[in-house]
Amino acid sequence: MTTNALTSKSSTSGRAGDKIFSGAALGAGVLILITLFAVAVFLLIQALPTFFADPAEISGGAGFFAYIWPIVIGTVIAAAIALLIATPIGIGVALFISHFAPRKVAGPLGYLIDLLAAIPSVIYGAWGYMVLAPALVPGYEWLAKNLGFIPIFEGPASQTGKTMLTAGIVLAVMVLPIITSLSREIFLQTPKLHEEAALALGATRWEMITTAVIPFARPGIISAVMLGLGRALGETMAVALVLSTGNLIPSLIKTGNQTIAAEIALNFPEAFGLRLAELIAAGLVLFLITLVVNMIARGIIARHKEFSGAN
Amino acid sequence: MSTMTTNQSNRPGVPTPPVRKRNSLAKGKLPKWAIWAIAAGAIIVGAAASTLTGFNVASFAIYSALIFLVAASVITTAAEGKRRGKNAMWTYLIYAAFIVAVIPLVSVLYTVLEKGMPGLNSHFLFSSMNGVTGAVDNESVANGTPVVGGAYHAVMGTLLITLWATLISVPVGMLTAVYLVEYGQGKALSKAITFFVDVMTGIPSIVAGLFAAAFFGMILGPNARMGIVAAVALSVLMIPTVVRSTEEMLKIVPNELREASFALGVRRWRTILKVVIPTAISGIASGVTLAIARVIGETAPILVTAGIASQINMNVFANWMSTLPTFIYYQILTPTSPTNIDPSVQRAWAAALLLIFMVMALNLIARLVASIFAPKKGR
């Protein structure tokens, strides 16, 4: 074969460069898969002693299941309170920014909400500890006095305000920017023609929103809420700082209850041996719970991708 | 003007008396002042109701808002019909949602500014907590002297750990994104990577910390806590963000640019390095900056991987380190002097203010980078 100027020298060095570069790119991708696999494997290995240990040696003295169950429930309760508060308000704020606020303020407001999503969780936790908890004490006393017959508001109310309900409210404040900024993105993508058609038929603004905006954005809202749920389940610092922990109890305004993430953060620094394995096992449970929640959210997004444009 | 013509056409020949009739389109609508009147009424009645049960600001605001909401909806329904009434009710509810959301967020920012300002001075910035014990704090409270001790060690820890996390995540994340967009289109492996990157986005930060602790614990023995372990934990959180933002940016680079480069005989890797990435660099840089802003405030993974320290440690490969978030956490939860917590509280808020400044600055930089280096539009 005759060599030609186009393929001779530069080509061989170029081919090597191609191989190195594509190999590096492939390697990085595979590294991510290995890392995630390693997360699961290492957590499992380090957690194993818990599952084979004598049940009496586990904290609480009744085996791992009896230890983990109350804090799983606590985690779910905290996240549920957060979502019950944050979902309607978050969607309301998103609608306010996308369809109600004057144009000039809407842009800066959206930017502000994005900035608030970036505030570190420990600062929300410190705020809950120092400002919110004391401020809520009179409210809890009122609830215990007037609605105390409902188990979740059973008194006597905590005098420090460091209760499950406070933790749930702090979590709600933290997930609110997430739900708002994701739903706002989707509301803004509603086809303008749909909205204008609804208005042209004589719909009021609210009717336009229920007939054109909400049906279009529904899958996006659901996935925004699920992602908020994932954050609320795994959130550590707010709960670790705000909740004064205890056993699982139905009342939300008394000292008590615990979540997985806070349990790990509060006890890990002093843990060793079997206690360490226990906490890592708890982390594994948390990992699985958030994994399921996130996969459901991603599934919903993937199914409706062509409509919502959310990703 | 229009009222004049309608009157004239109705009664031709008869001289029209100068009556001002309201525009027919605005018929059956409440005048503009009505809503302010309802608001004023609601505030007065709300104040009265609140006074009956012992006046305080919270009950006053709640009562007034409820009364306004009900009154405005009912009056609008009566004057303008059911549909407009419903519209009014939901409009006010959405305004209310916005106000309710703003209260805690403003309160957080106000608290951090108000409590953080007094403590944020040069002494705080440039000295560590080395040798600052409960006795020192008790003395400064008793004598009324300024608070001793600062967050220099934590600032350095934050910067070093974040720097190492960035050094790990950016190459891995960017290369993965390059693989996904440029090499792996449609392959099963790239689908698997996309899926698991999504899964990684949702890993709770404490689990990432536990992973790094468990991993290094098995290699170096239990309780191996140092800066680099924390950096690995943070990069587990940071990589998916970098991958996602880089991928989005590479995807919007027009295919024509790649084809033009291939047509000139340029190799694929040189095309990617010299054409594709430079075109997308503004978006990538702002995505990386946002990823840094996200991990710089993480507390839980640091807690389980780097421990705490009160002295300056510049070596990420040995000994425990503090970062600003863990500094805040421990100053609040376990004050240096249990009897006089004020100095610790002041240090915690000053650190919080500093941390917010850092995060906000990173966010602003990301915005600026994105807008300054954005590729020039066609014309």
Find the largest Cα–Cα distance for chain B: 106
Q: Are residues B46 and B103 in the same domain?
A: yes
Q: Are residues B159 and B48 in the same domain?
A: no
Does B129 fall in a domain? no
Is-contact B232 B212, C-beta < 8 A?
yes
All residues at 6 or more sequence positions from A86 whose CB lies less than 8 Å from its CB, including other chains: A171, A172, A173, A175, A176, A179, A228
Give residues 283 to 312 of B whose Cβ lies within 8 Å of A: 290, 293-294, 296-300, 303-304, 307-308
Does B278 fall in a domain? yes
Residue B171 has pLDDT above 80, yes or no: yes
Radius of gyration of chain A, Cα coordinates, nearest whole angstrom: 25
Distances A230 to A39, A79, B325 between C-alpha atoms, Å:
18, 9, 22
Nearest Cα of chain B lies from the Cα of A48 at a distance, in angstroms, of 12
Residue A87 has pLDDT above 90, yes or no: yes
Tell me the DSSP string of B89-103. HHHHHHHHHHHHHHH
Q: Are residues B179 and B314 in the same domain?
A: yes
Is-contact B316 B164, C-beta < 8 A?
yes
All residues at 6 or more sequence positions from A59 whose CB lies less than 8 Å from its CB, including other chains: A67, A275, A278
**CB-based contact B205 A234, cutoff 8 Å:** yes
Give the Cα separation of B270 and B262 in Å (integer): 10
Q: Nearest by CB to A43, from B87, B174, B210: name it.
A: B210
A25-39, A172-186, B266-280, B298-312: the lowest-pLDDT one: B298-312
Q: Which of B100, B117, B134 is the last residue of a domain?
A: B117
Q: Are residues B222 and B83 in the same domain?
A: no
Q: pLDDT for A194-214, tens place per residue?
A: 999 999 998 999 999 999 999
Q: Are residues B103 and B197 in the same domain?
A: no
Does B16 fall in a domain? no
- CB contacts of A230 in chain B (<8 Å) are 202
Nearest CA in chain A to B325: A122
- CB contacts of B112 in chain A (<8 Å) are 123, 127
Q: Are residues B113 and B185 in the same domain?
A: no
**CB-based contact B296 A132, cutoff 8 Å:** no
What is the pLDDT, as a whole number, of residue A309?
A: 43
Nearest Cα of chain A lies from the Cα of B281 at a distance, in angstroms, of 17
Q: pLDDT for B67-108, tens place per residue?
A: 888 888 888 888 888 888 888 889 999 999 998 888 888 899
**CB-based contact A290 B204, cutoff 8 Å:** yes
More confident of the two residues B346 and B34? B346
Place of tokens 């002093």: A270
Interface test with A, best of B269, B273, B344, B371 (most A CBs within 10 A): B269
Is-contact A234 B204, C-beta < 8 A?
yes
Q: Are residues B163 and B261 in the same domain?
A: yes
For residue B28, give the nearest of B80, B74, B78 by alpha carbon.
B80
Is-contact B193 B274, C-beta < 8 A?
no
Question: Which tokens belong to A18?
Answer: 């191609």
Q: Please tell me the total count of domains within chain B.
A: 2
Q: Nearest by CB to A126, from B56, B204, B348: name it.
A: B348
Give the Cβ contact number of residue A160 at 10 Å: 14
More confident of the two residues B348 and B142? B348
Is-contact A220 A298, C-beta < 8 A?
no
DSSP B181: I
Radius of gyration of chain B, Cα coordinates, nearest whole angstrom: 31
- CB contacts of B332 in chain A (<8 Å) are 126, 129-130, 241
What is the pLDDT, as a whole number, of residue B111?
A: 92
What size, in residues, is chain A? Answer: 311
Is-contact B316 B328, C-beta < 8 A?
no
Does B138 fall in a domain? no
Give the Cα separation of B76 and A157 in Å (integer): 41
Residue B46 has pLDDT above 50, yes or no: yes
Rounded to the nearest 10°, the torsion over CA B220, B221, B223, B224 is -10
Domain boundaries, chain A: 53-308
Nearest Cα of chain B lies from the Cα of A260 at a distance, in angstroms, of 10
Does B241 fall in a domain? yes
Supply angle C-alpha B164, B149, B301, rounded to 5: 35
**CB-based contact B211 A233, cutoff 8 Å:** no
Distances A28 to B139, B174, B179 between C-alpha atoms, Å:
55, 9, 8
Q: pLDDT for B242-284, tens place per residue?
A: 999 999 889 888 999 999 999 999 988 899 988 999 888 888 8
Q: Are residues B295 and B203 in the same domain?
A: yes
**CB-based contact B101 A268, cutoff 8 Å:** no
Place of tokens 């707010």: A238
**CB-based contact B173 A28, cutoff 8 Å:** yes
Q: Are residues B256 and B344 in the same domain?
A: yes
State what percent of residues in chain B have pLDDT above 70.
90
**CB-based contact B196 A93, cutoff 8 Å:** no
Does B307 fall in a domain? yes
Interface test with A, best of B98, B162, B207, B371 (most A CBs within 10 A): B207
**CB-based contact A295 B199, cutoff 8 Å:** yes
Interface test with B, best of A100, A122, A132 (most B CBs within 10 A): A122
Residue B1 has pLDDT above 80, yes or no: no
Interchain contact B4–A (C-beta under 8 A): no
Given CA atoms A161, A165, A171, A176 in this order, what sign does their dihedral have? Answer: negative
Nearest Cα of chain A lies from the Cα of B51 at a distance, in angstroms, of 16
Does B379 fall in a domain? no
All residues at 6 or more sequence positions from B257 whose CB lies less than 8 Å from its CB, including other chains: B275, B276, B279
Tell me the DSSP string of A97-126. IIIIS-HHHHHHHHHHHHHHHTS-HHHHHH
Give the Cα separation of B343 and B142 in Å (integer): 11
Q: Are residues B354 and B209 in the same domain?
A: yes
Give the Cα separation of A203 and A194 in Å (integer): 12
- CB contacts of B95 in chain A (<8 Å) are 96, 100
Is-contact A73 A81, C-beta < 8 A?
no
Give the Cα separation of B355 and B78 in Å (integer): 53
Supply angle C-alpha B200, B203, B207, rounded to 5: 130
What size, in residues, is chain B? Answer: 379
The separation between CA B271 and the C-alpha centre of its own chain, rounded to angstroms, equals 36
Q: Domain range spanning residue B162?
A: 152-372
Q: Are residues B297 and B187 in the same domain?
A: yes
Average pLDDT over residues A230-235: 86
The separation between CA A56 and the C-alpha centre of its own chain, rounded to angstroms, equals 34
Say if residue B26 is exposed, middle or buried (CB neighbours under 10 Å; 0-12, 13-18, 19+): exposed
- CB contacts of B25 in chain A (<8 Å) are none
Does B185 fall in a domain? yes
State what percent of residues in chain A have pLDDT above 90.
18
- CB contacts of B294 in chain A (<8 Å) are 118
For residue A86, give the nearest of A228, A240, A278 by alpha carbon.
A228
Q: pLDDT for A45-78, tens place per residue?
A: 888 888 887 777 777 777 788 888 888 988 998 9
**CB-based contact A120 B58, cutoff 8 Å:** no
Size of interface A-B (CB pairs under 8 A): 266
Q: Are residues B248 and B346 in the same domain?
A: yes
- CATH of segment(s) A53-308: 1.10.3720.10
